[in-house]
């Protein structure tokens, strides 16, 4: 099973049409050209579907980098073990 970070990078790669190798955990809306507000919403929705979690508006607000996103998801997955 790929790590949460790897899965987040795959999703980001699909959404931003970039190879996963070009998306580090330090990637942010400032470093990725088409990470705009609609794509930010799409990213949140894609994560919810992928990990079967619900992200609160506060958490979506905190999704400031790929690494941070992975930490938020990991935190949620640990809180609700399936």
Rounded Cα distance, 31 and 9, in Å: 14
Residue 17 binds another protein, judged by CB under 8 A: yes
Closest distance between another protein and the C-beta of residue 50, in Å?
6
Site size for another protein (CB under 8 A): 18
Residue 4 binds another protein, judged by CB under 8 A: no
Rounded Cα distance, 75 and 12, in Å: 19
x/- string (CB under 8 A) for another protein, residues 33-52?
-----x--xx-xxx-xxx--
Rounded Cα distance, 75 and 31, in Å: 25
């Amino acid at each position: 099973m790929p790590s949460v970070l790897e899965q987040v990078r795959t999703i980001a790669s699909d959404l931003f049409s970039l190879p996963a190798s070009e998306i580090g955990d330090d990637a942010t809306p400032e470093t990725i050209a088409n990470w705009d507000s609609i794509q930010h919403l799409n990213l949140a929705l894609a994560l919810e579907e992928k990990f079967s979690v619900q992200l609160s508006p506060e958490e979506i607000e905190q999704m400031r980098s790929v690494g941070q996103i992975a930490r938020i998801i990991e935190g949620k997955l640990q809180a609700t073990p399936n």
